[in-house]
């Protein structure tokens, strides 16, 4: 994905926004302001109405927006769960639960497009699986190592990740990465009654 003066960097938006929150938003102005707030939150800890009003992209997409409207729309976004007040104050806002974005976070698809090329549907499936299986630092590190060796293909990167999983990383990371276990998952399903 290319960036530059005409093309902005991409901003990751959690799937929860589309599945849980977007169906609740019926005010187009609230939706626009919420998306702009999430864009700004990709590079800072919190955002305020004055931050949004000072942003050129907000002024272009919401002409005539004043501070009262911005405050009202931000409160609506909080009520819908898109945003939440920062430390209990209604002047500063952060992303709603499940919508947080770490500053500087790059997703695996961007890494692929920036370092290898265009995505195909088959590669996209493999990337999704890798993203669920390995931590983000490992994925970024594997891309970095492949680019440093000028071997720009997914198979090579996947082999690096598999090697790190079985043998450990040279930087002292544990041999295997284990995602936290959710005990509740054993209580659901066909044999859940036996676990309870």
Cα four-point dihedral sign 30, 28, 14, 49: negative
Radius of gyration of the chain (CA): 21
pLDDT digits (tens, 9 = 90+) for 55-70: 999 999 999 999 888 8
Q: Do the beta carbons of residue 25 and residue 80 sit within 8 Å?
A: yes
* Token pair in block for residue 99: 């919508």
SS3 91: strand
pLDDT digits (tens, 9 = 90+) for 11-24: 777 777 788 778 88
Hey, where are the domains in the chain? Answer: 15-95, 106-196
* Token pair in block for residue 24: 């609740």
The predicted pLDDT at position 98 comes to 62
Cα four-point dihedral sign 138, 139, 142, 147: negative
Do the domains 106-196 and 15-95 match in fold? Answer: yes
Residue with tokens 């938006």: 13
pLDDT digits (tens, 9 = 90+) for 73-125: 888 888 888 888 877 656 787 777 666 554 445 678 888 888 888 888 889 89
The rounded distance, in Å, linking the Cα atoms of 104 and 133 is 21
The predicted pLDDT at position 136 comes to 80
- pTM assigned to the model: 0.50
pLDDT digits (tens, 9 = 90+) for 167-187: 887 764 545 555 566 667 667
Mean pLDDT estimate for the chain: 79
CATH code for residues 106-196 = 1.10.10
What is the average per-residue pLDDT within 154-171? 87
- CATH second-level architecture of 15-95? Orthogonal Bundle (1.10)
């Amino acid at each position: 994905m290319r960036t530059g003066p005409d093309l902005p960097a991409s901003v990751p938006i959690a799937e929860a926004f589309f599945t849980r929150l977007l169906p609740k938003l019926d005010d187009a102005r609230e939706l626009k302001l919420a998306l702009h707030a999430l864009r700004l939150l990709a590079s800072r800890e919190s955002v305020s109405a004055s931050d949004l009003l000072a942003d050129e992209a907000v002024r272009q997409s919401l002409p005539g927006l004043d501070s009262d409207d911005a405050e009202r729309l931000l409160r609506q976004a909080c009520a819908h769960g898109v945003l939440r007040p920062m430390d209990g104050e209604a002047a500063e806002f952060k992303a709603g639960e499940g919508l947080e974005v770490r500053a500087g976070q790059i997703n695996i698809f961007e890494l692929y497009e920036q370092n290898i090329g265009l995505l195909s549907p088959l590669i996209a499936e493999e990337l999704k699986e890798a993203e669920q299986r390995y931590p983000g630092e490992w994925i970024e590190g594997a891309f970095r190592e492949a680019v440093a060796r000028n071997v720009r293909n997914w198979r090579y990167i996947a082999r690096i990740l598999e090697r790190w999983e079985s043998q450990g990383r040279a930087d002292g990371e544990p041999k295997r990465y284990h995602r936290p276990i959710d005990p509740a998952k054993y209580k659901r399903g066909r044999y859940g009654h036996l676990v309870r």
